[in-house]
Amino acid sequence: MKRLSNETLSQLPSKVQTPRYDRSTLKAGIVHLGIGAFHRAHQAFYTEAVLNQFGGDWGIVGCSLRSAGVRDQLAPQDGLYTLVERSSDSEKFQVIGAVRNVMVGPEDPAALVATMADPDIKIVSLTVTEKGYCHDPATGDLNLDNPDIRHDLENLHAPKSAIGYLAAALKARMDAGVPSFTALSCDNLPNNGQVLEKALHQFAEKVAPDFAQWVKTNTTFPCTMIDRIVPATTDEDRAHVESVLGVRDEGTVLTEPFTQWVIEDKFANGRPQWEEVGAQLVDEVEVFEKIKLRLLNGAHSTIAYAGYLAGFEYVSEVMAEPAFVKMVETYHAREAGETVAAPEGFDIEFYKEQLRDRFRNKSLKHRTWQIAMDGSQKLPQRLLHTLREQLDGPGHIDIITLGVAAWIRYVSGVDEKGQPIDVSDPLAQTLREACDSAKGNPAAMVKAVVGIKEVFGYDLFSEPRFVESTVAWLEAFYEKGVLATIREHFGA
């Protein structure tokens, strides 16, 4: 079977949307670090819309800082891939052409630094997940003990981390008299631009004070809020797309129709007209970000841990269980809902309904295990900030502590049937050891895990309301099972 490529584009069925601009003359203006499925369904999707409508030199050089998987998928396809938008009863196919090529950092770090330092590059964007910022989520400080950060400070010519690559490229631009780029974080964490700015400035100070000052003066770090559900693509998905296109696409990405991108309008060196194709360019992102992190991501993580332990593989299966639906509705109204305020003109009740409908989308096949990844990095933003705000007063915390208890049960590494759980988390070993140290004693297990300051900071260990509620849920999970516990508390 032929592969999707420039050569086979003209052979695709008419219902498949293809690029409407001349890819042969497209120059790169963006480098993106972390070219996974989410970037290809979100930022590249918006950039493709700009290219289709307005043209411009905003091609994307995608970069992987770890594996060559995406490069190996897209290189034989001239960077092309199919984006499939699926609702419960329809699907839409679009071939995205914005990605010019894909580089793999570890294969030639100097080449990637040189590309990022090219004067044509105006924006370097990132989706490297929370752990890619090499910072302490509890304090926001750069983790100078991180092995990649230590390596990069000693070997800036051959970096490993996203922070190191950004610093190396910015220093090369400073040394060559080239204007800076905008460093655009598109990761799911609060104040992501500020997080990136702080980490990079702390790194730059270690390199040279004059370099740190140049970055501070010349580089901007807009905050963004991004939202689109992008499940992992399966072999079945690729086979289906092949049957529709008539060619093989190893880079297929699946997503939902809903998409949102709110961007702080603070760019150092030009940008695409994203606001003309659906993005919101605003002065302040935080209010949108808070709504999304607390209502969507907080619910998603709670669904993931409790749903996985209850035996559900997909989010849509969890949301077919009435007790889980009631749990999410209650969380939206109380625990999270009490801590967010809608900006003018924003219908927050409709937004909550949209979220629950999105969770029910059976066509997405969004695995609870996928959402459960990297929980030690996600929980502070998704649940613990809300928890602290509620603890400041008499606010509700029950479903937040349910989510924390489910996470602790999950990272113990053994499910309710005694089978091992593949816990994908940078602190997996530390968490497992904490759980094992208190095996058979939920109260001691909570104390051991909540004592891990990298996740919980120094304050929550001594919050009796939080600790007691979490212990009560964990005891119920071990005694009755997660599903039975959820049904008991949220059943009709």
Given a cut of 70, whether residue 492 has pLDDT beyond it is no
Q: Are residues 256 and 371 in the same domain?
A: no
Q: What confidence score (pLDDT) does residue 138 get? A: 73
Q: Are residues 266 and 393 in the same domain?
A: no
The whole-angstrom separation of Cα 248 and Cα 461 is 53
**Would residue 61 count as lying in a domain?**
yes
Q: What confidence score (pLDDT) does residue 148 get? A: 97
**Would residue 3 count as lying in a domain?**
no
153 and 134 in contact (C-beta within 8 Å)?
no
Q: What confidence score (pLDDT) does residue 285 get? A: 93
Q: What's the total number of domains in the chain?
A: 2
pLDDT tens-digit map of 389-423: 999 999 999 999 999 999 999 999 999 999 999 99
Q: Are residues 52 and 195 in the same domain?
A: yes
**381 vs 411, higher pLDDT:** 411
**Would residue 181 count as lying in a domain?**
yes
**Would residue 406 count as lying in a domain?**
yes
pTM for the predicted model, two decimal places: 0.84
CATH assignment at residue 227: 3.40.50.720
**Would residue 323 count as lying in a domain?**
yes
Last residue of a domain, one of 282, 308, 327: 282
Q: What confidence score (pLDDT) does residue 407 get? A: 98
Q: Are residues 35 and 51 in the same domain?
A: yes
Q: Are residues 201 and 70 in the same domain?
A: yes
Pick the closest to residue 397 from 441, 450, 456, 338 (CA basis): 338
Containing domain of residue 245, as a range?
9-282
Last residue of a domain, one of 228, 256, 282: 282
pLDDT tens-digit map of 232-249: 899 999 999 999 999 999
Q: Are residues 228 and 299 in the same domain?
A: no
Q: Are residues 326 and 417 in the same domain?
A: yes
Contacts of 462 (CB under 8 A, 6+ apart): none
Q: What confidence score (pLDDT) does residue 324 get? A: 98
Say how many C-beta atoms besides its own lie within 10 A of residue 421's C-beta.
Answer: 18
**Would residue 172 count as lying in a domain?**
yes
Mean pLDDT estimate for the chain: 96
Distance from chain centroid for Cα 97: 22
Helices and strands, counts by H and E, the chain = 23, 12
Q: Are residues 220 and 290 in the same domain?
A: no
**Would residue 265 count as lying in a domain?**
yes
Q: Are residues 445 and 424 in the same domain?
A: yes
Split at pLDDT 50, 70, 90, the class of 88 is confident
Given a cut of 90, whether residue 136 has pLDDT beyond it is no
Q: Are residues 246 and 309 in the same domain?
A: no
Q: Are residues 42 and 61 in the same domain?
A: yes
Tokens standing for residue 395: 């606010």
Burial class (CB in 10 A: 0-12, 13-18, 19+), 133: buried
Q: Are residues 202 and 253 in the same domain?
A: yes
CATH assignment at residue 325: 1.10.1040.10
Beta strands 260-264; 224-227: pairing state: antiparallel
Q: What confidence score (pLDDT) does residue 343 get? A: 86
Split at pLDDT 50, 70, 90, the class of 132 is very high
Last residue of a domain, one of 282, 302, 323: 282
pLDDT tens-digit map of 204-236: 999 999 999 999 999 999 999 999 999 989 999
